[in-house]
Structure 1
Amino acid sequence: MNFIWYIIIGIVAGFVAGKIMRGGGFGLFINLIVGIIGGVLGGWVFGLLGLATTGIWGSLITSTIGAIILLWIVSIFKRPGNN
């Protein structure tokens, strides 16, 4: 059951990150995948910083920050002419 919660939180985080990163989003489906990957990335970054979150809200914040970081990294490598 926890796995389903992780996916749902990742989907919401990807959606929120796509809205926050105006111009950095890549459409709903890709942003949802980015949110799931961002959850892993956010957990890794928070672990490096010695931060720990608990509960659904903590997981959502971690995933959203990870998704924002991932969208930012991808936007760096995105060619300016290709949208």
Structure 2
Amino acid sequence: MGVVWLLIVGAAAGFLATRVMRVEAGVVQTVVLGMLGAVIGGLVLRLLIAVTGALAGLVGAVLGAMLLIWLWKTYGPR
């Protein structure tokens, strides 16, 4: 099922990409371009999600630490 789905998505992506870029290509070239584009795009998207996920974790950790410092300074021992 994965290969069939890759062919369908690749064909659609290749068709749309060749129309947007105004490139004349045959059916096989269009499908291959779309499949390779789907693989490369998927890898890049996963990398971006991983990086932003890690960055979001860092931002969350800093905000959490700032909240704890504020609570400690406000309600902690004097």
TM-score range, shorter chain: 0.5 to 0.7
Q: Is the 8 A contact 2:7 2:31 kept in 1?
A: no
Structure 1 residue 21 displacement after superposition: 0.9
Alpha-carbon distance in structure 2 between the residues aligned to 1:13 and 1:38: 8
Give aligned pairs, total. 50
Q: Which has the higher contact order (CA 8 A, sep 6+)?
A: 1
CA deviations on 1:22-59 (whole Å, 9 max, x unpaired) are 24x544331221001111101011012117xxxxxxxx
Task: Supply the distance in 2 between the matched residues of 1:46 and 1:26 (Cα, whole angstroms).
Answer: 26
Gaps of 5+ in 2: 51-78
1:6 maps to 2:3? no
Q: TM-score when scaled to structure 1?
A: 0.51
* Larger Rg over CA atoms: 2
What is the rounded CA distance, in whole Å, between the counterparts of 2:38 and 2:22 in structure 1?
Answer: 20
3-state SS of 1:22 partner: coil
**Richer in helix (by share):** 2
Percent identity over the alignment?
38
State the superposition RMSD in angstroms.
Answer: 1.8
Q: 2:19, 2:33 → 1: CA distance?
A: 13
Q: CA deviation at 1:2?
A: 2.7
* Long gaps (5+) in structure 1: 52-83
Moved segments of 4+, more than 4 Å: none
Task: Give the Cα–Cα distance (whole angstroms) in 1 for the partners of residues 34 and 20 of structure 2.
Answer: 13
